[in-house]
Amino acid sequence: MHPAPSVIFFSTFSGLGFGLMIFLGLGMPATTGFNAFIFFTIAYLLAVGGLISSTFHLGHPERALKAFTQWRSSWLSREAWCAVAALILMAVYGAGLVFFDQRWIIIGLLGALASLATVFTTSMIYGQLKTIPRWNSPLTPANFISLCIAGGALMAGQTTAAIILLAIAGVIQVATWLRGDTAFAQSTTDMATATGLGSIGTVRAFEPPHTGTNYLLREFVHEIGRKHAQKLRIIAISLMAILPIVFLLLPFNHFMALFAVVAHIGGVLTARWLFFAEAEHVVGLYYGKR
């Protein structure tokens, strides 16, 4: 799949922002007043910034409101609803903390739940696709949610929770990669089933339909950078989980916490780039590219 920067930034930063909102909604840390204002500003910048960046890949962003209509069948539509619900609930909850010194616990819990649901719906947009065997697994939502919660704990300064959650997220990330590596072969979709010609013999793509490229090849048959995949995985897991855990285990200081956050973001961005770059769409079979 083509690793579009807008979608990589969206899923990384909004995941982190909604992760922070989950912890704020649970009252961890239990701040009020100006401190709360800082935390909520960071959460909103991340979440809303990510959402805005995701509209950059739309052909017609001015029609985006129509995306609220199909929640019965579409995960993308459900994501839109959950995101708006989370942002509104957390705004009300945050206003209580910042301006009225009040903790409206129910609204906070609902906001945390909606934030979690937003990340789940995002992950299901990818996880539902049978056409991309690497993504079509419960590990995809597990991967997104574990990273979101671990990143949220890190941002919210929950040191102990963050260490445990980062370790869990790291394990799930490695499991996602390992399962993904055999997913295409296990999907049973190959050139024989794609063309239906397998009963005659071995199928080989002889001539593509055109001499140039096309939308399908640009969008679904990305092959650049795969040769560095193993190195990038090591970089990603080190930055995303191992380094932040080391930084957090050291005696606490704010710079170490900042390093941990920066390393984590770098690691998640790398992992998200790999998530797209390594994903193979079955349509590539028609072009003999799998």
Partner 1 sequence: MTQLPTRTEKKLGLVIDLDTCVGCHACVISCKGWNTENYGAPLSDQDPYGADPSGTFLNRVHSYEVQPEQGDAQLIHFPKSCLHCEDAPCVTVCPTGASYKRVEDGIVLVNESDCIGCGLCAWACPYGAREMDQAEGAMKKCTLCVDRIYNENLPEVDREPACVRTCPSNARHFGDLGDPNSDVSKLVAERGGMDLMPEQGTKPVNQYLPPRLKDRLAQDAEQIDILAPFLEPVATEAKGFLNWLDKTLEKL
Cα 211 to Cα 15: distance, rounded to the nearest angstrom: 40
Total residues contacting partner 1 (rule CB under 8 A)? Answer: 59
Q: Which is nearer to partner 1, 48 or 283 (CB)?
A: 283
Residue (of 208, 188, 207) closest to 198 by Cα position: 188
Q: Single out the segment in contact with partner 1 by CB under 8 A; choices: 41-49, 66-74, 91-99, 238-246.
A: 66-74
186 touches partner 1 by CB under 8 A:
no
The residue among 266 and 288 lying less far from partner 1, judged by its C-beta, is: 288
Q: Is 194 in the site for partner 1 (CB under 8 A)?
A: yes
Residue 160: Cβ-neighbour burial (10 angstroms; 0-12, 13-18, 19+): exposed
Q: Is 73 in the site for partner 1 (CB under 8 A)?
A: yes
User: Residue-wise over 189-215: b if at least 16 C-beta within 10 A, else e?
Assistant: bebbebeeeeeeeebeeeeeeeeeeee
- By CB under 8 A, tell whether 193 contacts partner 1: yes
**String of contacts with partner 1 for each residue 75-114, x by CB under 8 A:** xxx--x----------------------------------
Query: Which of 109, 187, 235, 266 touches partner 1 by CB under 8 A?
Result: 187
Question: Of the listed pieces 26-34, 171-179, 198-206, 247-255, which binds partner 1 according to CB under 8 A?
Answer: 198-206
> What are the DSSP calls for 208-267, one per residue?
-SSSS--HHHHHH---TTGGGHHHHHHHHHIIIIIHHHHHHHSSP-HHHHHHHHHHHHHH
Helix (H, G, I), strand (E, B) or coil at 290: coil
Region from 13-21, 60-68, 157-165, 255-263 binding partner 1, contact rule CB under 8 A: 60-68
Q: Which stretch binds partner 1 (CB under 8 A): 65-73, 96-104, 224-232, 258-266?
A: 65-73
- Give the nearer residue to partner 1 in terms of CB position, either 157 or 284: 284
Q: Which two tokens stand for residue 255?
A: 């710079």
Give yes or no for residue 214 binding partner 1 (CB under 8 A).
Answer: yes
Tokens 């869990």, located at residue = 168
Distance of CA 139 to the CA centre of its chain: 12
Select the span of 129-137, 230-238, 245-253, 254-262 touching partner 1 (CB under 8 A).
Answer: 129-137
Nearest by Cα to 267 from 250, 242, 230: 242
Whether 157 and 257 have beta carbons less than 8 Å apart is answered as: yes
Taking the least distance from each CB to partner 1, the nearer of 48 and 194 is: 194
- Residues lying near partner 1 in the complex (CB under 8 A) are found at 1, 57-61, 63-64, 66-70, 72-77, 80, 125, 128-132, 187-189, 191, 193-197, 199-210, 212-216, 219-220, 281-283, 286-287
